[in-house]
Structure 1
């Protein structure tokens, strides 16, 4: 068996050095009221009992000339705001009291993002936070600069393929898949393929490689190659840079298609 107690102290408070008195305050159910005198004023503090929360001012002041500074507050039974779940539904009694739980479920075609349950805490907030219902399908994806994608189906499970304009190469995943309302990877980029900055570099590099191919003997081929590099003042780093450019150009030529 449970018993409810109403705690309240009914007092008429005199102000020191004055014949005037603070008026009585009406009782507030399920609260405790503590008073003290401070610098010619009466300070009253309301504290609600466990399971209740205060609505109104917690601290009230009374002066001989002005009376109480605010209306009497109320102690309401602790509850959380009613949960809201767009495109879904929840199971919970209303109003939601402290420690009550709610469970959540999305409508067909939507997926729950967050926890499928939440509880009303002592501070009248939901823990964990309320979830949302998000469409299972993805919206149209972004296109990278100088790029495009192939595919018109953005439903969950569908895949799109990215391509770049001519003389641009794709950096990142070429395919992205829609999984439960989100694309499964980051947007790729299309980067410009740079040409060799100097024709002299191309000429010197080709001569060095040709010198290497002139001899079938490995040792002599390497010797010829090194000599030709030195003659043209070409370093291995410059040769490597040239080869990377040629590799990128070859890759572009081998791509199955470009953006139109």
Structure 2
């Protein structure tokens, strides 16, 4: 009985020692990057046991080996295995649209948008999947369309390009016109907008102008005391030696007012009696200018003397509505000087 009591504790000690030795040389389940997977759920491994490594879904193995072995020291062998995310092909932007993305690796997303005036048909987003393909194909950007532009009464529209069918694309424009005496009231330009509707349609309204009235020293083609329709015209002319300045005719405008009427400008007379002038390419004694009139905007030159060089030069001046300014350099000879020495006048001296 004493022998048995001694033996049992000894057996228990040996068994405990063996278990402790084996546990100390075992390898604990290793840890790797989040993208690496390991077979099974075993927590401890004896020396010599292998553990197979693999990449999680959506990742591709790079370098090796793909197994590790539990060493006698309780340490696993080294591995250079890396798992990199799979890459999807670079997406192309849709026609008339754009795309936005930061990367094309697994779980990356791409967002699609369409330009103004276009509607997206298809998926707005796509995700790079574990198999290296996008979750959805690129969408289409289809143009917004409008029906034909509304036509106001007594009006019409002229499109910028030929229209086929009963729809037009976004951005197409046209110009409204009205049948006289109607005029466009509002914006004459029409456009198919991004919302699929046309800009506000104008109206065609009758416009007339009151009798235009005459001009001083002039006459007009019609003095009828009546209202004139939009775009009707009246022509003007001037009496005698007066010159018409401005447009020959006035037009009844769409605001119910006449365009600016012309005016008649008066001729000028030469305000000196003696001396010569250059007029229309000819030298003339002022007394021989008959009648003594220079028409509005015409140019006449007076002879001035350059005393330093003892020569003369012609100084031009222009008739402006009845006023002819005599150049400051011109010196009119006295009556005695002019009568006694007409051949020695300023105009007869050597030209500069």
TM bracket, shorter-chain basis = 0.3 to 0.5
Decide which structure has the larger Cα Rg and report it: 2
Instruction: Say which structure is richer in helix.
Output: 1
TM-score, normalized by length of structure 2?
0.29
Choose between structure 1 and 2 for higher RCO, CA contacts under 8 A separated by at least 6 residues. 1
